[in-house]
Chain A
Amino acid sequence: MIGRPIQLAAGHLSAWLVQPDVGDASLAVVVLNAGLLPAYGPYGLHTQIAELLATRGITTLLLDQSGKGESLPRPGFDRLQALEADFDTVQAWLADLGIRNLALVGLCSGADDAVQLADKPGVRALVLLDPLCKRDLAFFAQRYAPRLLRPRPARAVRKIIDNLRQVSRGAGGTATAAEAYDSRGAAPLADQRTRLRRFLASQGALFTAFTGSVSEYYGYAGQYRRFLGARRAKDGIPPKFAEHHLPTAEHTYTTQQDRENLLNVLVPWLEAESKPADRC
């Protein structure tokens, strides 16, 4: 396994490439920078993903998108234009290595970026770690029902109503969207949903994981599936969809155990997606 820095676009873009000693996977994994952190991710999470994938024959690129990490901004480009230009650069570079299919991995704002690129040709899989999600009735029921069972339920009801009023005013978010929590500059949730539904309909594979740190908008396994359009948690979405709730983990996967719990489900999933026979 070799890890080395690379500079693309005449030095404009910076990335860290981890290649397996032996590997013939036709899919490479591109891990998008989460924003303020360097490309190796919080507590080295991105590096650990890359190194484990390398043991399974998969090439991974840890990318600093324009203006993040070591990469320079692209003057005159808006966020989406810069992101798409970055993607095109990376895709062309990987194509020279013989790799034409990509899986995009992103945590937090990296997940938002990955969603924006879902329509790009060659993107076969998306891994979204703590993406934004719509809060639904089941979310609110799960969140507030236990409070009604406590002593003095009338007081709990008043508090719930206060909370919901705040929610409806947009003070802490809205009942239909979590954008109010969003300081990430993400695309509106409706746009994200449309894009992801299109992606799944075109045989794209989608992996999602939610930590306890996003409990303000995500509360139960199956919520994202519903957000994408399934009426019940178990139906309506093509089979290439995985949703994991890791309520004890923190947003930045603070502990080694948090990271291992994620990697134990993520790496086999990506390995399966990297095999040509699995893509039809």
Chain B
Amino acid sequence: MAIVSQPVRIGTDEHRYARHTPARPHTRDDYPGAVLLVAPPLDEGTRCYWLLKQIAERLAHRGFDAVRIELTGAGFGWSSAETARIARWQQDIADGRALLARLCPDARKHDILALRFAAALVPTIGQWRRAVLLDPVLSGKRWVSELTAKRDRLVERNRNAQLKATEYGGAVLAPELLESLAMFSGSWPEADDLTLIATTGTTVDTPLVARPSETTSETTSETTSETTSVAVDCDWTLPDLPQLHDPLLLDQIVEAFL
């Protein structure tokens, strides 16, 4: 099942790379398109690593091109966490979309999968064909409160843990980022088809998940949206790095693109 992925340079920084899992050979007519997979910032990105890798492989088997990106301060750029800003993360996604267009010129429209707070960063990038959001957190304040809860649980578990003042999700963040997160409120992405997937046990609440069907039906008549919850117990406030690695969830996400 495994398919080799290729590192590809992304954006203007010569040291930043995405991973491209190419579609199986196809004709222009039977080509379903290209998907951008956006890992959430900080340690949540590591936690989703296997999930996103396997989704990319499954999508490639179904004929999609899949490009995985990490936001500034995560992955191999972990040491640059202090340079992370909301605008920078939004630019990362814009760079990802530009890369998708360059790598997959046959794709008429692009799809996106974004997890957690990465979902809040999508809207500024324009119209998508399909947007699939997993446990989206649109409020920066809410996301910081969850990171804080995780921090508290870590201290509760390990009373000897020494945390820096602005250390969240395993990384030391700039105070400016935390300030801007506290004021940030995202909106749902513009997409022909919007799917929300909420894991049980997650902190995403029902009103948040239910909202897009109301919102999108009012704003765009073409937009269809679904709300789905799956039987995966994922607690994002756990302080260590359990992998989000569940076949049910994997199938559900891949189905959303078909």
| Chain A interface (Cβ < 8 Å from any Cβ of B) | 2-5, 7, 11-12, 14, 16, 36-40, 42-44, 47-48, 51, 70, 72-73, 212, 247-248, 250, 252, 254-258
New contact pairs (4) apart from A47-B77, A257-B162, CB-CB < 8 Å: A36-B243, A40-B78, A44-B171, A255-B161
Q: Does B43 contact A (CB under 8 A)?
A: yes
Given A5-B17, A250-B158, A37 and B79 touching (CB < 8 A)?
A: no
Given A4-B15, A5-B17, A38-B49, A73 and B171 touching (CB < 8 A)?
A: no
> CA–CA, A70 to B70, complex, Å?
15
Chain B residues with CB below 8 A from A42, complex form: 46, 170, 241
6 nearest A-B pairs in the assembled complex, by CB-CB distance: A44-B78, A5-B7, A248-B160, A43-B170, A257-B162, A38-B49
> CA–CA, A5 to B50, complex, Å?
18
9 of the cross-chain contacts (CB-CB < 8 Å) are A11-B4, A38-B46, A42-B241, A43-B43, A43-B170, A70-B5, A248-B162, A250-B161, A252-B240
A173 to chain B minimum Cβ distance, whole angstroms, is 22
Asked if residues B162 and A255 are in contact (CB atoms below 8 Å), the reply is yes
Chain B residues with CB below 8 A from A11, complex form: 4, 6
Q: Does B184 contact A (CB under 8 A)?
A: no
Closest residue on chain B to residue A40 by CB atoms: B76
Asked if residues B4 and A37 are in contact (CB atoms below 8 Å), the reply is no
Given A5-B17, A37-B241, A38-B46, A254 and B171 touching (CB < 8 A)?
A: no
Interface residues on chain B, number (Cβ under 8 Å): 36
B58 to chain A minimum Cβ distance, whole angstroms, is 16
Q: Mark B59-86, 1 if CB is under 8 A from A, else 0.
A: 0000000000000001111110100000
A71 to chain B minimum Cβ distance, whole angstroms, is 9
A33 to chain B minimum Cβ distance, whole angstroms, is 11
Asked if residues A3 and B15 are in contact (CB atoms below 8 Å), the reply is yes
Chain B residues with CB below 8 A from A212, complex form: 158, 160
A80 to chain B minimum Cβ distance, whole angstroms, is 20
Q: Does B191 contact A (CB under 8 A)?
A: no
> CA–CA, A237 to B50, complex, Å?
41
Asked if residues B19 and A70 are in contact (CB atoms below 8 Å), the reply is yes
B46 to chain A minimum Cβ distance, whole angstroms, is 6
Chain A residues with CB below 8 A from B164, complex form: 255-257
Q: Does B226 contact A (CB under 8 A)?
A: no
B57 to chain A minimum Cβ distance, whole angstroms, is 11
**A-contacting residues, B218-258, CB 8 Å:** 239-241, 243, 245
> CA–CA, A250 to B155, complex, Å?
12
Asked if residues A254 and B240 are in contact (CB atoms below 8 Å), the reply is yes
